[in-house]
């Protein structure tokens, strides 16, 4: 039996989370987890999902002090349980741990020889799952690592940094008990001290959600960015590069929220070709991606964290069938590169040059290039193929 422990939103509770969330909802992580579930389904696995959905803290980022639990069914062989927990700062982490630990030890019927797949390096999840090894020594724990926590925030708050150091120590201790790993970049192997334990790289999974969205291309030449508006990710460089381009048919669409939001609004007031849409639903984002002429990811390869990060928007952009401009990031596998308009260095001025070059390519050629990228993703990075890599690794270990 396979168990998947994560933070995905069950379909029945997704509307509740949307209603009471006050900021960004982590749609990228939610989609990736559901893509893993789809892969288990297509590989005919018997699976139990245990989830504590990723919501913000009460009262700043979430309007309710608790999140209710519920049961749900995905397929005849796949069922799930969304667990109750409190959303207070700090206390919410403890609540998640106790809720998950109680369920695993009393209600889940986990037994020796079962496989527990833990999504992400969340200390509450890892403590509860690795704690099972005290009584079930033969369970197999596989950890999916989408990001390294130490690179996920630039907060300078002293208390926050102190708590993150404690959190990292807990995570490191738990990872010593893990039996196998799914890593989103090869460089994570050394950073996590995986050693000789089995691991496989699965940088992402595409379920081709955008194939269900029918729309026409915008008549103008539209550059589009969808995602977190974080200054670390080059959003200011994208704005300033676009504003240097000349052409009445040029348009820049920006979707998302983050610490660069005010800068986006200011630039849109100075240049009416820049359109800011704020936070959109995932389906609305996919529609914008398909309507655009070119998608842009302005994150450079500068910074230690880029070795350990495969931006989820890379695969989502390519799956849309709209061509993509991005920097040649350290974690980008070689097989992707022929299907992307790559910027070969980390110079910010190189983004402007590439945007200008792509503008001069006929739209017919751009559509052909984008469709080639979409076909590559559909063929090589679909749920069944990617999850089969995970299953092969685990079965070879057992």
**Matching residue, tokens 């201790």:** 173
Across all residues in the chain, what is the average pLDDT?
Answer: 94
Angle (CA) 381 384 388, round 5°: 95
Q: Band of the pLDDT at 367, cuts 50, 70, 90?
A: very high
Contact predicate 7/119, CB 8 Å: yes
Q: Band of the pLDDT at 341, cuts 50, 70, 90?
A: very high
For residues 186 and 201, what is the distance between their CA atoms, to the nearest angstrom? 7
The pLDDT value given to residue 154: 62
Give the model confidence (pLDDT) of 108-121 as tens digits: 889 999 999 999 99
Nearest to 46 by CA among 75, 82, 11: 75
Hey, what domains does the chain have and what are their CATH numbers?
2-205+382-397 (3.40.50.2000), 209-380 (3.40.50.2000)
Percent of the chain with pLDDT over 90: 83
Tokens of 26: 């982590």
Give the model confidence (pLDDT) of 258-291 as tens digits: 999 999 999 999 999 999 999 898 889 999 999 9
């Amino acid at each position: 039996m396979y168990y998947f422990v994560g933070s995905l939103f069950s379909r029945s509770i997704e509307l509740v989370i949307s209603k009471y969330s006050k900021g960004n909802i982590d749609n990228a992580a939610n989609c990736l987890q559901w893509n893993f579930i789809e892969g288990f389904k297509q590989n005919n696995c018997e699976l139990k999902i245990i989830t504590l959905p990723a919501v913000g803290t009460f009262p700043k980022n979430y309007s309710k002090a608790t999140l209710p639990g519920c049961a749900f069914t995905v397929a005849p062989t796949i069922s799930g349980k969304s667990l109750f927990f409190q959303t207070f700062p700090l206390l919410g982490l403890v609540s998640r741990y106790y809720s998950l630990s109680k369920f695993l030890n009393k209600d889940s019927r986990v037994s020796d020889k079962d496989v527990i797949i833990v999504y992400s390096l969340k200390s509450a999840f890892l403590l509860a799952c690795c704690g099972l090894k005290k009584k079930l020594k033969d369970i197999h724990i596989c950890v999916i690592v989408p990001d390294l926590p130490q690179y996920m925030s630039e907060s300078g708050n002293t208390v926050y940094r102190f708590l993150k150091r404690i959190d990292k120590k807990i995570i490191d201790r738990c990872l010593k008990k893990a039996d196998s790993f799914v890593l989103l970049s090869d460089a994570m192997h050394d950073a996590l001290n995986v050693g000789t334990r089995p691991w496989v790289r699965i940088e992402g999974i595409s379920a081709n959600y955008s194939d269900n969205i029918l729309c026409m291309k915008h008549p103008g030449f539209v550059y589009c960015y969808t995602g977190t508006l974080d200054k670390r990710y080059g959003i200011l460089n994208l704005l300033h590069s676009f504003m240097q381009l000349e052409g009445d048919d040029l348009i820049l669409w920006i979707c998302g929220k983050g610490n660069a939001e005010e800068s986006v609004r200011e630039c849109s007031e100075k240049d009416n070709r820049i359109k800011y849409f704020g936070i959109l639903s995932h389906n609305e984002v996919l529609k914008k991606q398909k309507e655009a002429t070119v998608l842009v990811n302005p994150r450079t390869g500068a910074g230690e964290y880029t070795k350990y990060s495969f931006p989820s928007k890379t695969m989502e952009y390519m799956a849309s069938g709209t061509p993509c401009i991005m920097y040649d990031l350290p974690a980008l596998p070689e097989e992707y590169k022929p299907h992307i308009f790559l910027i070969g260095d980390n110079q910010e001025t190189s983004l402007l040059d590439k945007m200008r070059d792509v503008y001069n390519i006929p739209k017919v050629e751009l559509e052909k290039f984008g469709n080639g990228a979409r076909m590559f993703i559909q063929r090589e990075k679909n749920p069944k193929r990617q999850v089969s890599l995970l299953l092969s690794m685990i079965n070879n270990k057992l």
